[in-house]
Amino acid sequence: MKRAIIAMAGIATACAATYPVPVQRMADAQSARRSAVELGANNLPDAQLYLKLSEEEIAKANVLLKENENRRADFMLIRAKADGELAVAIARAKKSEAEEKQSLDQQKLRAKTIPFQGAR
């Protein structure tokens, strides 16, 4: 029994050691986080939550990588990337909606200030 447990522990350690370090996944997650920051997600309450989650997940992944938990770190980074991308998508949507409103306001203002309108 003792031998079996030792064998299983050995296999588990080998598996952890053989799972590659998720370098690309880390780069993707950090890239998504940076994009969200650049789009102002920090200042948008809807997007801020997901940016924060992404940052926390990247931090957790770093801890897992130090513990040689590459597989867990990889999946944590998948979450981090998804949260970062969601923060980006929300920030972009908010930006477009703000631009739409600004355009509408400008057109309303222009309609009010054009002297010929309604004076025919």
Partner 1 sequence: MKRATTIGVSLLFFAACAATAPKELLNARTAYNQASAGPAADANPAGLHSAKESLDAAEDSFSKHGATQETNDIAYVAGRRAQIAEANAREVQAIQRKEQQIAQASAAQGEQLQQTSADLERAKTQLGATHQQLADERQRREEAERQAAAALAAFATVKQEPRGMVITLSGSVLFASNKAELLPSARVKLNEVADALTKQDPKAKIIVEGNTDSQGSAPYNQELSRRRAESVRNYIVSRGFSADRIQARGNGLTNPIADNKSPEGRANNRRVEIVVQPVGAAQ
CA neighbor of 58 nearest in space, from 16, 27, 90, 91 = 27
Name which of 13 and 107 has its Cβ closer to partner 1.
Answer: 107
CB atoms within 10 A of CB 89: 15
Q: In Å, how far from its chain's centre is CA 120?
A: 55
Name which of 5 and 116 has its Cβ closer to partner 1.
Answer: 116
State the residues that interact with partner 1 by CB under 8 A: 72, 75-76, 78-79, 82-83, 85-86, 89-90, 92-93, 95-97, 99-100, 103-104, 107, 110, 114, 116-117, 120
Name which of 67 and 99 has its Cβ closer to partner 1.
Answer: 99
Distance CA 24, CA 28 (A): 6
